[in-house]
Amino acid sequence: QVQLVESGGGLVQAGGSLRLSCAASGRTFMFYTMAWFRQAPGKEREFVAAIRLSGDSPNYVESVKGRFTISGDIAKNTVYLQMSSLDAEDTAVYYCAADRGSAGRSSSDYPCWGQGTQVTVSS
């Protein structure tokens, strides 16, 4: 079982940037699908981005394309979400998730979750 710990959230002004980190322990995640989801108050959990470090191209929800970048460091067992040009609509708790296979965009595809990190964008 993979344990996931997110960090890097905080308060940022609109137009600013943040980098979230997700440290994985327990297994090497090279062949996992690693993803970021987010959940705003009163809304369902939403897919943000996913990556397989074995070589597949990352994929993103349309609303973050060109602003967010997901990447990973196999040596550190860490996945990152670089977020820029943030706006109030990005305010949410961001969760890291992992699946040992080729998970998609549904939260139900991912059996492993971190505790979440709050991102608040002030306008």
Lowest-confidence pick of 3-12, 21-30, 63-72, 98-107: 21-30
| The two three-digit tokens of residue 101, written as one number | 């296979």
Whether 79 and 92 have beta carbons less than 8 Å apart is answered as no
Number of residues assigned to the chain? 123
Mean pLDDT of the chain: 93
Answer whether residue 57 shows pLDDT above 90. no
At which residue do the structure tokens 């060109």 appear? 66
Give me the pLDDT at residue 27, please: 73
From CA 100, how far away is CA 56, in angstroms rounded? 14
DSSP-assigned beta bridge partners for residue 119 = 10, 92
Give me the pLDDT at residue 13, please: 98
Give me the pLDDT at residue 53, please: 79
Answer whether residue 26 shows pLDDT above 80. no
| The two three-digit tokens of residue 77, written as one number | 């067992």
For 92, residues 6+ apart whose C-beta sits below 8 A from its C-beta are: 38, 39, 40, 43, 46, 118, 119
From CA 99, how far away is CA 31, in angstroms rounded? 9
For 4, residues 6+ apart whose C-beta sits below 8 A from its C-beta are: 22, 23, 24, 96, 97, 98, 112, 113, 114
Give me the pLDDT at residue 28, please: 72
